[in-house]
């Protein structure tokens, strides 16, 4: 019995120290945007981000998920812890198989919108995050990757 309790304790300790893993959230409804935002905030909190950065990360996820829903109707948000050169962070990847963006440079300008909105989504995400990359092919879809590094 003591050995079983020890092994259970050891399993809990080892698994509690395991790094958080990738989270995938399919986006097909407004509720999915909320789920992606909550899961991203929870992962970022586990990784040690400040409360200010938690808001930035959650906002970026919301903007990216809203774009997926608005322009492609469905897609996915992937959230993943990242480590590089002794620093940790969170990577957010939004992908869809929608119509794609014909002019990425124009889409990245403040106030440009094809949906009648304020045009702050993608440029806003770029400002909120530390790294930002967008790949889009007309007729095939769009993938936006953004990373925020934890400042401790």
Lowest mean pLDDT among 6-15, 43-52, 101-110, 139-148: 6-15
Confidence (pLDDT) at 69 = 94
Please work out, in degrees rounded to the nearest 5, the angle formed at the alpha carbon of residue 145 by the alpha carbons of 125 and 81: 100
Domain CATH number, residue 79: 3.30.565.10
Mean pLDDT, rounded, for 30-46:
96
Q: Based on the structure, what is the number of domains in the chain?
A: 1
pLDDT digits (tens, 9 = 90+) for 56-90: 999 999 999 999 999 999 999 999 999 988 889 99
Domain that holds residue 119: 23-149
CA distance 121 to 135: 16
Distances (CA, A) of 48 to 19, 34, 92, 116: 12, 21, 16, 37
Per the domain annotation, does 99 fall within a domain?
yes
pTM of the model: 0.81
Per the domain annotation, does 44 fall within a domain?
yes
């Amino acid at each position: 019995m003591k050995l079983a309790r020890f092994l259970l304790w050891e399993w809990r300790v080892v698994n509690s120290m395991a790094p958080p893993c990738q989270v995938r959230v399919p986006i097909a409804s407004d509720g999915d945007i909320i789920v992606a935002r909550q899961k991203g905030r929870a992962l970022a909190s586990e990784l040690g981000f400040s409360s200010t950065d938690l808001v930035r990360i959650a906002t970026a996820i919301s903007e990216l998920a809203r774009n997926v829903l608005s322009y492609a109707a469905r897609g996915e948000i992937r959230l993943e812890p990242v480590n590089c050169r002794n620093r940790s962070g969170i990577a957010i990847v939004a992908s869809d198989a929608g119509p794609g963006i014909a002019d990425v440079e124009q889409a990245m300008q403040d106030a440009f919108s094809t949906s009648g909105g304020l045009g702050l989504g993608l440029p806003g995400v770029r400002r909120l995050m530390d790294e930002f990359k967008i790949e889009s092919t007309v007729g095939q879809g769009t993938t936006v990757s953004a990373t925020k590094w934890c400042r401790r």
